Structure 1
Amino acid sequence: MADDLAKGAFREILVDTQVEPSWASTVEGVTVSSGKVYFDLLEHRRTSGVADTPLIRVEQLYPFPSQQLAAKFARYPNLKTVVWCQEEPRNQGAWGVIEPQLRAILPSAVQLQYATPSASASTAPGYHLAHVARQAALVSSAFAM
């Protein structure tokens, strides 16, 4: 791990290593995210037993790494759905910028969906229990599509 920091390079896209490459032909849905929500998705997948949904983490939103992401999607020949998941409400965060970028690289047969909290004037509910409930619903919805 320390060697990665010392000798590694920045990667715009980080692909899930917990989904077996041999399963690629059976994958029908992929969840794409950026930032901390990735770790919530990873934990939910681990605890809920949803093992067949790869997670892709976009580390660079601009310039958007279209070619790299399209190459990752191409690994799944039976891909039917791509879900963009973000913690921020739909009218905030990256969705407004990411949506046209994703549509441009997805084959026409692949459906693009989003898992975001409803539009809101504030970025957070302001109450811890409300945040926990909203986050749990968000993460669960990313796998229910």
Structure 2
Amino acid sequence: GFELGFAMASPNALVCWEAQFGDFHNTAQCIIDQFISSGQAKWVRHNGIVLLLPHGMEGMGPEHSSARPERFLQMSNDDSDAYPFSEQFEVSQLYECNWIVVNCSTPANYFHVLRRQILLPFRKPLIVLTPKSLLRHPEAKSSFDEMVSGTTFQRVIPENGLAAHAPHEVKRVIFCTGKVYYDLVKERKNQDLEKQVAITRLEQISPFPFDLLKEELEKYPGADLVWCQEEHKNSGYYDYVKPRFRTIVNHTRPIWYVGREPAAAAATGNKNTHLVSLRRFLDTAFNLEAFEGKT
């Protein structure tokens, strides 16, 4: 509550509130629902508060794994059935949304999204899902060249490896967000599928980057489309992204789900169960025949 009031009274300050674990934001649920999500719609008051919510399936158990991104996405006000294209698409989307939900996979993008938050000519709440394991991950690094003048926040980070150089050979495009990207890249290399499988990261989930994803989908017209997440099926992002992908392709191509099975708890507290379920969905993600014959 203090941070919310401070952000409202000081719009030029970058005010951040960090939950010890993302799960613990439920103690602030009343403030999130009553003030942060709907404050502008109810009282025409802008607020630029930043919520930093540790989130990631790291085998730490049900109270230390999930910031419940599905709840924030459900309360987002963008329309899943409308492709709102305009010349100033990115800025108009940000202006019209009730809050911004991101899951950054690189230090540079994390820097840029905080910088953008204070440089915007208006204020919107920013929800940042922050995997703790990426603090020490050897692959989660950025050059300072990605943070100099002329660089900006990337809403989508497209495939830039072998698959991007020969898109006609790509059999599957995997879309994901957050730290699961690093698990997917490692598994793709182990299975020697770097030419057949492209991996694209959504760094900004809401407002949904329709324009950039349309470009990605047009690159790979003959490929399977897969959404991969480490969260359980009834959690995470799938229910939010699926209708929006279908809108982009005008319902002509399915978007398949790869991830953990539905569950009541946000995560398992058993390390072995965690690793088995990780192995299972990685196998499905790179099984190029997994969805043959399905509609």
Task: Name the TM-score, length of structure 2 as normaliser.
Answer: 0.47
Check conservation: 1:25, 1:78, Cα contact below 8 A. Answer: yes
1:49-74 Cα deviation digits (max 9, x unpaired):
11210000000011000110010111
The change in CA–CA distance for 1:86 and 1:21 in structure 2 (over 3 A counts) is closer
Identity %: 26
Quick one: distance in 1 between partners of 2:242 and 2:189? Answer: 27
**In structure 2, how many angstroms separate the alpha carbons of the residues matched to 1:20 and 1:137?**
24
Q: Which residue of 2 aligns with 1:6?
A: 148
SS of residue in 2 equivalent to 1:54: strand
**Do the aligned residues in 1 keep the contact of 2:173 with 2:199 (CA within 8 Å)?**
yes
**Contact 1:19/1:53 (CA < 8 Å) preserved in 2?**
no
Q: Is the 8 A contact 1:30 1:54 kept in 2?
A: yes
Amino acid at match of 1:33: C
Higher relative contact order (CA 8 A, sep 6+): 1
Q: 1:1-145 residue pairs with structure 2 within 5 A?
A: 1-7=143-149, 8-51=151-194, 52-79=196-223, 81-106=224-249, 108-144=251-287, 145=290
Deviation at 1:109, TM superposition (A): 4.1
Deviations along 1:19-44, whole A, 9 cap, x unmatched?
24341112231000000111100000
What is the deviation of 1:125? 1.3
Report deviation, 1:129: 1.2
Aligned length: 144
RMSD: 1.4
CA shift at 1:106, angstroms?
Answer: 2.2
Q: Report if the CA contact (8 A) 1:13-1:56 is conserved.
A: yes
Given residue 6 of structure 1, which amino acid in structure 2 is its aligned partner?
Answer: V
Gaps spanning 5+ residues in structure 1: where? none
Which letter does structure 2 place at the counterpart of 1:126?
G
In the TM superposition, structure 1's runs of 4+ consecutive aligned residues that sit over 4 Å from their partners are none
Amino acid aligned to 1:16: E
> Is this contact kept in 1: 2:157–2:202, CA < 8 A?
yes
